[in-house]
Amino acid sequence: MAPQDPSMGVVIAVIVIALGLFALIGFIVHRALTAPALRPVAVLTAAAAVLTAVGSVIAVLPVIIRALNGG
C-alpha cells in the first residue's frame, strides 16, 4: 500500500464519496421529518443518493478486490 499506488487512491476516493452521500441521505431524512411537505422530494433525493453511492462502489469493486488480493 505505497503512496504511489493509484488503486488505493481510487478505493479511498470511492469510500469518501459513498460516506458523503450517506451523510447527505441522513440530512435529507432529517429535513423530511421536520418538513412533511418536502417528504416526496426528500425520498427521491435519498434514493438517488443511494443509487449513486452503490454505483460508485460497484464501479470500483474490481479495483478493491485487486487491492485486497495484493495485486
Distance CA 20, CA 37 (A): 25
Residue that wins the pLDDT comparison between 4 and 53: 53
Residue 22 lies in a domain: yes
Residue pair 12/43 in contact (Cβ under 8 Å)? The answer is no
> Of the given ranges (3-7, 24-28, 53-57), which has the lowest mean pLDDT?
3-7
Number of domains in the chain: 1
**pLDDT band at 64; cut points 50, 70, 90:** confident
Residue 58 lies in a domain: yes
Residue 64 lies in a domain: yes
State pTM to two decimals. 0.48
Residue 37 lies in a domain: yes
Residue 19 lies in a domain: yes
**pLDDT band at 71; cut points 50, 70, 90:** low
Taking the alpha carbons of 19, 25, 26, 28 in that order, is the dihedral positive or negative? positive
Instruction: Find the domain containing 24 and state its range.
Output: 8-68
Residue 27 lies in a domain: yes
Looking at residues 21-38, what average pLDDT do you find?
77
